[in-house]
Amino acid sequence: MNESIFDLTGQVAIVTGTSRGLGQYFARALAKAGADLVLTSRKRETLAPFEAEMKALGRRTLTLELDVRNHESIQKMAADAVAAFGQIHILVNNAGCNIRKPALDVTWDDWNTILDTNLRGSFFVAQAVARGMIEKGYGRIINIGSVTSVAGYAGLAPYGASRGGIRQLTMSLADDWGKFGVTVNCLAPGWFRTEQNKVLYENKEWLDYLVDRIPVKRPGQPHDLDGAVVFLASEASRYVTGQTLLVDGGISTGATRATVPAKSA
């Protein structure tokens, strides 16, 4: 296979939510494939160390403030990115949040915070960036979902609803914008340690239970996502749209690790 179909040299990628966590890994993978970057966070100053790292790779890098719960902030970010680079080729819709609670304890405000950030925010960021992509006749939009896009977990009702919504949103936008040369896909990580869930990984009993349910027998490592995000951002995926790509070690198969009794003689 010609490796040039994975080459992102000369392309510009917006990656939202890059002050920490998986957003930085997505941005780093795209940068190593050749893309220049627009990095966003609610507090622009938090991006300074990562901005320096990306510039050290030789990539043009712009940092912008973005609050995905604020429509004016979204519009300004998209306009500033286009003003700086002329064209945006790739969007990784990564900014998100979670509040882990039993369903009976979820408040009205909890629900609104999660859905407004993860689902409404993703839609309006995609909408704002897609306008320019449609004008140019080219774009790659990657919405970040989760294994909770396809499976339910206790304590994650609003989060799962938002990520399930991302999967449905991806399909709708793919149908809307495919004729304009814009593909829209969902990258859905499984269980990866992040700032949001690190307390779980400190519980050995829980971690052993998790690993037992993952067919490849380990949680995800951030570099496990590199190939998937570059694939979806590149010409390699030109005929792929509306899809949810699970990178989860197989946990979404629903397999359990029950011991099978030996057959009697």
Among the listed residues 138, 159, 209, 239, the single catalytic one is 159
- Tokens 């979670």 belong to residue: 98
Strands (E) located in the chain: 12-15, 36-41, 61-65, 90-93, 139-144, 182-189, 244-247
CA atoms of 37 and 95, how far apart (whole Å): 15
SS3 at position 193: coil
Q: Is 239 a catalytic residue?
A: no
Pairing of strands 244-247, 182-189: parallel
- Bridge partners of 183, per DSSP, are 140
Handedness of CA 118, 119, 121, 122 (dihedral sign): positive
CB 97 within 8 A of CB 23: no
Which residue in the block uniquely carries the two structure tokens 């998790």? 210
Nearest to 190 by CA among 226, 143, 151, 230: 151
Residue 13: name the closest of 129, 166, 128 by CA: 129
Q: Which are the catalytic amino acids?
A: 159
